[in-house]
Homo-oligomer: A and B are copies of this chain.
Amino acid sequence: MADYVFFLKNVLMVSLAMNMGLIWKISYDDEDNITTSIQQKLHFHPLYFNRQNERQHDDDEAYVTKRTQMLASLESVVINLDHGDPTMYETFWKQKGEETTVVTSSWQHISYFSDIKNVCWFLEPGLVSAITRLHKVVGNAVTEGRHIVVGTGSSQLYQAALYALSPPNTSTPMNVVSAAPYYSSYPLMTDYLKSGLHKWAGDAYTFNKEEPYIELVTSPNNPDGFTRQDVVKGDKGILIHDLAYYWPQYTPILSPADYDIMLFTVSKSTGHAGTRIGWALVKDREIAKKMTTFIEINTIGVSKDSQIRAAKILEAVSDSCNQKEAESFFDYSYKLMAERWKKIKAAVNKTQLFSLPNFPQETCSFSGRTFGQLPAFAWLKCEEVDDCESFLRRHKILTRGGKHFGASTKYVRISMLSRESEFNLLTERLPAIIS
């Protein structure tokens, strides 16, 4: 029976991947000219498979009868690991019951306001407690003496920080830099409105202007997973620390981060990307106020429903770390990441075509485990091909090429956070590629 279920799962996986490929093709053919450039940078809209198809095709028998055709189509299936949709933790959350369920009556949370005593007046008090508690439990960031600013995801907070840090009345826009390879959305988010406040100034390693600048430090880094420090040696810099991946399933926690502006998000910490909640820990009150002002103008606050839900989920994560009878969220997610990295390394080692970064082993102060980074993305290098993204695309693996990150086209970024079916297809296909 177990074998039969396993077989069905595999057939379902193939069918899903086929749907994904077909939808990708339909969407791709339909792509418009006007927005192609930005869509390609974002990598969002046309390149994803629809979970609705999963629900439509729930007749197992029908699949069994069609298995011959489906298995024959396996090689033509497109795997989309271009973006980092964090669906891999869904299984953990499915095990959780009422303690993580949110019930909202229609009369609740109807006001724009959450707590006018707070600098960030649209921040729900319950979320403040949950964030503060979780950082204390994990030991990954200092919250004492910080103002919390909530955002519609950390992307909004990044833009809020740029707004807060850029002088309003200068003749030239503020330079914004980050060491390559940098997160591919930073240049776009900085420049899409052609703001007179700030402009993307590229790779921090090559920035040598005698002008004020903002340096983004992403640690662990997206796309390559390395621990980072600031690299510009000027004295006119302001730092923003993007710590979206500074959680114990991705990296050994070494000490509580203690920077001026630190960005976090539930998208990568707990896997709730659809909830669109990020938070900033901000030392300076005036900066926190200006970030709040940005969000006031941009979206008049942040959805209360999602704040309430995020609070419940963060509390559940903290609770899970204190329970001995059940596996904690970070134990579960660490083991899943470790297993996936083991599999992808094994797949890559079967061929001479690719390589992956090596990370030093360090001891995590949270878990006590000693391990190297387990990044949310694999920063894969093609050893023999110049355009790795196109090369993999010809083999039906969609990734994001190095050029989007200010790096060589020999590199691609591959999401490690997909559902199991897609990840398994990847690790089967990589070693099967000959050239």
Contact = CB atoms under 8 A, between A and B. Distances in A.
B50 A274 contact: no
Contacts of A110: 86-87, 89-90, 93, 271-275
Chain A interface residue bracket vs B: 35 or more
A301 to B, nearest CB: 6
A128 to B, nearest CB: 13
Contacts of A305: 102, 274-275, 303, 305-306, 309
Interface in A47-93: 48-52, 83, 85-87, 89-90, 93
What is the copy number of this chain in the assembly?
Answer: 2
A34 interface: yes
Contacts of A116: 23, 27, 45-46, 48-50
A105 B101 contact: yes
Nearest to A94: B107
Contacts of A179: none
A189 interface: yes
Interface stretch (A153-161, A211-219, A223-231, A406-414): A153-161
Interface in A248-306: 267, 271-277, 286, 289-290, 292-294, 296-306
Contacts of A189: 297
A134 interface: no
A96 B35 CA distance: 44
Interface stretch (A191-199, A342-350, A373-381, A385-393): A191-199
A93 B107 contact: yes
A113 B50 contact: yes
Given A111-B87, A305-B306, A35 B290 contact: yes
Given A111-B51, A163-B193, A289-B32, A42 B104 contact: no
Interface of A: 23, 27, 32, 34-35, 38-39, 42, 44-46, 48-52, 83, 85-87, 89-90, 93-94, 96, 100-107, 109-117, 121, 125, 152-153, 155-156, 159, 163, 185, 188-189, 192-197, 267, 271-277, 286, 289-290, 292-294, 296-306, 309, 312-313, 316
Given A159-B298, A193-B195, A194-B195, 16 more contacts: A34-B289, A44-B296, A51-B111, A85-B112, A87-B110, A101-B103, A106-B316, A109-B272, A110-B274, A112-B274, A155-B300, A156-B299, A193-B197, A276-B300, A276-B304, A299-B299
